[in-house]
Structure 1
Amino acid sequence: MKINRQKLITILSQYPLYLCLLLLLLGCQSPQLKQTKQIQVTRVISGQSLEAKLVDNQQISHSNLKIRLIGINSPDLRQNPWGESAKEQLEKLIAQTNGLVSLETEQSATDNFGRILAYVWQNKTLLNESLVKQGYVLADWEFPHRYGERLLAAQRYARIMGYGIWQPQNPLRIEPKQFRRKNSA
C-alpha cells in the first residue's frame, strides 16, 4: 500500500493541532464536585460506619448523620475477632482528635441504608486508607471512586506485611459481603 507523501505530511502537521484542541476541551470539563465538612463523631457503629453531627461555624447540629466510609468493606461485627477489632481501631483513630474529623463527599451520594458515603479525614490522614493499610478492613473496588487506587495499594501493603485480617496464622476466611449474604435473614 503506497501512501501519498504530501498527505502524510499534512496529517502529521495537523496532529499537534488536534492534540492541543483535545487537551483544551478536556481542561474545560468541570471537575467532580468535592465537598468537605467538619463533623463531630458521636458514635462508631462498626469498622465502616459511624454517627456524627455536623459542625458549622463552631456550632454542632442537633441531628445525627449516619455515615458509611466509602471504598472499604469492614468485617461484620459477628466475624470474630476481626469485626470488633475494626470497630475498636476506628474508635481509636477518631479519639485522637476528640471525635472532630472532616468528611469528604464526591456528591450527595447515599447507600441503600440512607448513610452518607464519604471519606473521613483526620488532619491529612485518610482514615479509610489507614484502616485498610493496617489490615482491619478490605478495600472495596466494586464501584469506582476517587481514592480507589490508593486504597488498593494500602491493601496490597497490608497483605504483604501480614497485618490484621491478612495474618497467615489467623486470616479472615470469608469476605464480609459473602458473610453478610450468607448470614442475612
Structure 2
Amino acid sequence: MVGAKVFVRVLLSKIALLCCLLLLVSCQADHSTASNQVQVKVSRVVSGQTLDVLGMAEQPNLTSRVRLVGIDAPDFRQRPWGEESRQVLANLIGDSAQPVILEFDLEAKDQNGRFLAYVWKDQQLLNEEVVKQGYALFVGRSPNHKYDQRLERAQQWARLMGKGIWNPEKPLLISPAEFRRRYL
C-alpha cells in the first residue's frame, strides 16, 4: 500500500511539472508572436522589395515604408526586371483592402528609416515567393537571419528552374546591388 501511495505522488508531481512546463512554453510563444508582428494594409507596392503600408502602431493613419528582409530586387532601371519584380510582388499582395502581416526580426529598421520585415499573406511568406519566382536575389542581412535558409532554398530552386532573372535566354547580368553602385 505504501508503495502505491509513493507511486501516485511521484506520478502526480511529474504531471504537475509537465503542466507547468507546457504552460510556460505556451506563454512564451504567445508573447513573442504578439510582439514581433503587426497587421497592416498595403497602400502601394513601390518595387519588388519595398512597400508603403498603413496601420503601423506609431503612425496608424500615415504611410510607413517597409523593405522586405533578406531579398534584393532589381532596380527599375534594370529593364525589364525592375518592373517585372514590382509586378510580381503586387500580384502576390493582390487586393490592397486585404491586410498583410509584417513580421520583424532582431533589427526593425534600416539606416534609411524603413521598417525591415518579412511579409505574410494567407500564410505565405512573400519574401520567399518573390525569390522563388526568380524576381529577387536572396541576400542575408545581418542581424536579421530568421528565414535565411528558406530564402536560400527558394533561390536555388528558381536558379535550377531558370525562373525570372535566372532564365538562361534572358538572364539578369548584374546584381541589383552592383547596378546601384555603378549607375546610381
TMscore range, shorter length: 0.7 to 0.9
SS in 2 for 1:129: helix
Do the aligned residues in 2 keep the contact of 1:67 with 1:115 (CA within 8 Å)?
yes
Do the aligned residues in 2 keep the contact of 1:97 with 1:122 (CA within 8 Å)?
no
For residue 42 of structure 1, what is the amino acid of its counterpart? S
SS in 2 for 1:64: strand
Give the match for residue 84 of structure 1: 83
For residue 42 of structure 2, what is the amino acid of its counterpart? V
Do the aligned residues in 2 keep the contact of 1:71 with 1:145 (CA within 8 Å)?
yes
Distance 2:86 2:76 in 1: 8
Do the aligned residues in 1 keep the contact of 2:56 with 2:64 (CA within 8 Å)?
no
For residue 53 of structure 2, what is the amino acid of its counterpart? A
Q: CA deviation at 1:107?
A: 3.9
Report the aligned-residue RMSD. 2.3
Distance 2:98 2:48 in 1: 15
Matches within 5 A, 1:127-142: 127-142=126-141
Q: CA deviation at 1:171?
A: 0.3
Distance 1:181 1:110 in 2: 22
Give me the TM-score of the superposition, normalised by structure 1. Answer: 0.76
Give me the TM-score of the superposition, normalised by structure 2. Answer: 0.76
Distance 2:82 2:98 in 1: 21
Distance 2:182 2:73 in 1: 16
Do the aligned residues in 2 keep the contact of 1:40 with 1:55 (CA within 8 Å)?
no
Distance 1:98 1:55 in 2: 15
Indicate how the Cα distance of structure 1 residues 77 and 141 shifts in structure 2: closer, same or farther if over 3 A, else same: same
Q: CA deviation at 1:80?
A: 0.3
Q: CA deviation at 1:97?
A: 6.3
Deviating runs (4+, > 6 A) in structure 1?
A: none
Q: Per-residue displacement from partner, 1:118-150 (whole Å, max 9, x unpaired)?
A: 000002100000000000100012435100011
Distance 1:39 1:74 in 2: 22
Q: CA deviation at 1:112?
A: 1.9
Distance 1:97 1:113 in 2: 25
**Larger mean Cα displacement after TM superposition, 147-156 or 137-146:** 137-146
Do the aligned residues in 1 keep the contact of 2:134 with 2:155 (CA within 8 Å)?
yes
Distance 1:63 1:98 in 2: 16
Q: CA deviation at 1:55?
A: 6.6
Asked if 1:125 is matched to 2:149, the reply is no
Identity percentage over the alignment?
Answer: 44
Distance 2:159 2:76 in 1: 21
Do the aligned residues in 2 keep the contact of 1:70 with 1:128 (CA within 8 Å)?
yes
Give the match for residue 112 of structure 1: 111
Q: Per-residue displacement from partner, 1:77-118 (whole Å, max 9, x unpaired)?
A: 100000100001111111156341000002452112110000
Give the match for residue 22 of structure 2: none
Asked if 1:45 is matched to 2:46, the reply is yes
For residue 50 of structure 1, what is the amino acid of its counterpart? L
For residue 48 of structure 2, what is the amino acid of its counterpart? G
SS in 2 for 1:87: helix
